[in-house]
Structure formats: structure tokens, C-alpha cells
Amino acid sequence: MRKEIIGLCFEIQVCRDGQRGVDMNIYLMRHGETDWNRARRLQGQSDIPLNEYGIKLAEKTAEGLEEVEFDAAFSSPLCRARRTAEIVIGTRNIAMETDDRLKEINFGAGEGTYFDPAKQDPAHPMHNFFCRPECFVPMEGGESFDQVRKRVGEFLRERIFPLEGDYSNILIAAHGALIRSVVNGLAGIPDREFWQLGLPNCAVSILSLKGGELTILEKSRIYYDAPVNARP
């Protein structure tokens, strides 16, 4: 069975005998706010920690998810995602596994770019990332959208799909561009509309895995008031 996410085909091994039809929910959560989020700078794989407000957002999200019985948790190794996951996990007796394939898109020489000058200047090397994402070409050392889709697809295929039938609820803490790559793909949204999905810090998109098929249950839910940084 195959599931296609924006041109990337995941080879999915369907559930083991007797386990087909059991739903597994995947809570795909963006990290809390950082100082670079607030300053409207591209973080990429720069390891920027949560700020005080980002910790509060994670705590509010933890309250909203306190009734969910997570069986396992996965996170990007970047500290802003890892700390968000730790706060949401709280006192649950589950292990959290980090995976490099959950890191944010690498902007290479573009890391640290301020949003607004790049958006306003068509000659800026990061302009297309914001304004014409279907034409985006990464700067030196950076990644394309296709490269991000490839690695997150490998992660889902290798680490998440085999858990179907054994686990009911999985937490994944990651980043804005990576999460949009997954959700947009499932929704059939092309790259030219990449930013259509508003994704505030700590927003949670809930996916269902059943019989080897991923579907979207809910997009970009927040558990606090006054969302910030919903769009780049």
C-alpha cells in the first residue's frame, strides 16, 4: 500500500494479522515560541531555546492534552522542540526518542534571515521561500522542500507505521515547515499554497493511522488564547 505526500511515496507496511482497523492517533505538535520566532527570524536548524512565553505555551498545551494517554513520544533533537515535548509529556512514564529526521528545514546560509526584508525584496535569496514557495531554491548548505519531505517520509515509514496496532496515541514534537510538509501533503495542498495552513507555536495537528492509511482529524489546534506567529 502506498500513501503519497506531495510527490513523495511512502511504502507502507500494512498492519500485522489481526490488527487491521485499530486507529492510532498521531499528535503532530509545533514547538513553543523562541526569541527568534518573536523577532521574525528563520531558525531552521539553529538550536534556539524556548523563551519564557514559549514555556508558558507548552504548559498550556500540556494542560489541554493531559487526558491523552500517550504511548510514546518522538521529537526533533533541537532544544525548542525537545523541551516542548518534555513539558507536554510531564509525569507520564514514557520514553521520548529524538530523531534527526524531525529537524526543521535547513536554511543553510539563510539561517537567521529576518522575515520582512526578505518578503519585501524580490531580489532577496529567501524571497521565494515566503512569497513563491513553489519556486524556492535553497541557499548554500540549505535544504529543499523535497529533501524535507523525503526524510520525514522515511521517519514515518520506519518509526511510526510499524507501531500501528500496538499503540493508540503518539506525540511528535517538530517544526513549522516540516509539519506543513506532512499536513499539506495529506490535504493535497501544492507548494504554491505552502503557507495556507496557519501554524502558531504549539499548534497540534491530529492525524489518524488506520489500516496503513494516514488521514487528518484536526489541523492546527491550539490550547491557549491569542495565537502568535501563525504565518511567516
Rounded Cα distance, 202 and 128, in Å:
26
Residue 126 lies in a domain: no
Rounded Cα distance, 124 and 179, in Å:
25
**Which range of residues forms the domain containing residue 161?**
2-108+143-221
Rounded Cα distance, 107 and 43, in Å:
8
Residue 134 lies in a domain: no
Tell me what pLDDT residue 176 has.
97
Beta-bridged to residue 24, according to DSSP, are: 209
Residue 133 lies in a domain: no
Beta-bridged to residue 173, according to DSSP, are: 29, 75
- The DSSP-derived string for 52-102 is HHHHHHHHHHHHHTTT---SEEEE-SSHHHHHHHHHHHTT----EEE-GGG
**pLDDT tens string for the chain (232 positions)?**
334 443 444 433 333 333 445 689 999 999 999 999 999 999 999 999 999 999 999 999 999 999 999 999 999 999 999 999 999 999 999 999 999 999 999 999 999 999 999 999 999 999 999 999 999 999 999 999 999 999 999 999 999 999 999 999 999 999 999 999 999 999 999 999 999 999 999 999 999 999 999 999 999 999 998 665 555 5
Q: What is the CATH number for 177?
A: 3.40.50.1240
Residue 206 lies in a domain: yes
Residue 124 lies in a domain: no
Residues annotated as catalytic (active site), given as ranges: 31, 104
Number of domains in the chain: 1
